[in-house]
């Protein structure tokens, strides 16, 4: 489907791929569209909803400037997936032991690896760059000194992050997971959001909302932020690759021998990148959106009781070559806890081996938009290659 709604209340238009959007999110998008640094228009994906700082599901191209809050604090958050030669009928009838093995192998929530058990290769590749960053920005040193960032490499975190086993339309098994740059990405994001606010105050720049503070090329912290955000994005990618390997190793004792089929796919959906739009070099911030150039892999998850999609981009320039990053929340975590009971959670996740306790009610499938409707709204952005059904889900 094409663009559903266009709003012309700012300096540039806002193009939205849905009419299922709350007033608060619309105002956030209008605020973004007022900024003098935004190029062309603002794009909002079918899963768009209100975010902290900037709208989740927004794609924002900026010229010679970056908005730290448009990436947020879970820098490099994204998805990874791999197809296995394993078939659904080769999985045990009861998946509880596999879920336990994955939970033992991959720290979840606030847990992390012991230092001597953390994945080493990825940490070694990232260490020298982080050391240089810490020299410039001692405020992020707390994430380095106790080696928390090393111990969190290959860990899931909490919230909407997950690890799943899924089955596709040909009964092939997939590992599908969602995580980002963990604690150190949070520290980097928050630090530079505050530095951007200080910079705007010092320059007496009027903003439609203070969370939209930006750093311009040539400003004191611009290069530092670009370096730091690129580091955190690389860390997030390493984190997902490490988790994939840990999950595969945890799975092997419980199933027949299997191979990995094809590539291990990993994509960001909270990140910034340098791109050329209409001949202009810009920074494209995707907060809750995936790059979907022609042929790009797009990993689009639903809730843990629904289904997820493996798709490829169609390269639509109107969306700045982007698509949705998932179903998108239709209610806050607080409202979900008020709305649903543990019995509701159990009913909504019937047939899925997962946590069904009160601690994950805010992640109940009913708290999310219908992933199938989201996919119908972006047929001009992506082409579906595989439809996945969750059979096991690990939550933080």
Catalytic residue positions, numbered: 325
The rounded distance, in Å, linking the Cα atoms of 6 and 227 is 34
Alpha helices by DSSP H, the chain: 23-33, 96-105, 120-136, 148-151, 182-203, 222-251, 333-339, 342-348, 371-376
- Which of 157-181 are b and which e, b meaning 16 or more Cβ less than 10 Å from the residue's Cβ? bbbbbbbbbbbbeeebbbbbbbbbb
Residue 280, classed as helix, strand or coil, is strand
- The set of residues, in sequence order, having a beta carbon less than 8 Å from that of 170 and lying 6+ positions away, is none
Neighbours of 133 (CB within 10 A): 19
Indicate the burial class of 271 (C-beta count within 10 angstroms; 0-12, 13-18, 19 or more). Answer: buried
Residue pointed to by tokens 């899924």: 166
CB of 330 closer than 8 Å to CB of 321: no
Separation in Å, CA 259 to CA 87, 100, 123, 237: 11, 22, 26, 22
Residue pointed to by tokens 């070694």: 124
The pairing of strands 307-313 and 382-395 is: antiparallel
- Please report which helix (H) or strand (E) contains residue 173, including its range: strand 172-179
Q: Would you state the structure tokens that stand for residue 281, as one six-digit string?
A: 């070099």
């Amino acid at each position: 489907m094409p663009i559903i709604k266009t709003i012309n209340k700012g300096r540039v238009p806002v193009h939205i791929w849905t009419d299922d959007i709350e007033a608060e999110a619309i105002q956030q998008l209008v605020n973004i569209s007022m900024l003098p640094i935004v190029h062309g228009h603002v794009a909002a994906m079918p899963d768009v909803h209100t975010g902290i700082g900037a709208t989740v599901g927004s794609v924002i191209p900026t010229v010679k400037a970056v908005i730290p809050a448009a990436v947020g604090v879970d820098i490099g958050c994204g998805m990874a997936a791999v197809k296995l030669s394993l078939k659904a009928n080769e999985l045990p009838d009861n998946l509880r032991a596999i879920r336990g093995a994955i939970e033992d192998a991959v720290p979840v929530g606030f847990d992390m690896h012991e230092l001597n058990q953390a994945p080493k290769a990825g940490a070694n590749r990232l260490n020298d760059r982080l050391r240089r960053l810490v020299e410039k920005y001692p405020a992020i040193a707390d994430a380095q000194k106790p080696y928390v960032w090393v111990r969190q490499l290959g860990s899931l975190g909490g919230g909407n992050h997950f690890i799943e086993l899924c089955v596709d339309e040909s009964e092939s098994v997939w590992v599908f997971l969602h995580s980002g740059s963990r604690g150190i990405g949070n520290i980097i994001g928050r630090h530079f959001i505050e530095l951007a606010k200080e910079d705007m105050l010092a320059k007496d720049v009027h903003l439609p909302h203070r969370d939209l503070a930006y750093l311009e090329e040539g400003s004191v912290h611009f290069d530092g932020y670009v370096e730091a955000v690129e580091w955190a994005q690389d860390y997030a990618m390493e984190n997902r690759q490490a988790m994939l390997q840990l999950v595969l190793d945890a799975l092997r004792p419980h199933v027949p021998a299997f191979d990995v089929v094809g590539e291990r796919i990993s994509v960001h959906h909270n990140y910034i990148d340098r791109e050329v739009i209409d001949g202009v070099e810009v920074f494209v911030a995707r907060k809750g959106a995936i790059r979907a150039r022609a042929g790009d892999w797009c990993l689009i998850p639903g809730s843990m009781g629904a289904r997820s999609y493996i798709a490829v981009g169609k390269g639509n320039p109107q969306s700045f070559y982007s698509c949705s990053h998932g179903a998108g929340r239709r209610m806050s975590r607080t409202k979900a806890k008020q709305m649903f009971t543990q019995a509701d959670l159990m009913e909504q996740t019937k047939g899925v081996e997962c946590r069904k306790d009160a601690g994950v009610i805010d992640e109940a499938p009913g708290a999310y938009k219908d992933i199938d409707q989201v996919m119908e709204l972006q047929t001009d952005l992506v082409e579906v290659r595989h439809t996945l059904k969750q059979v096991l889900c690990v939550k933080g």
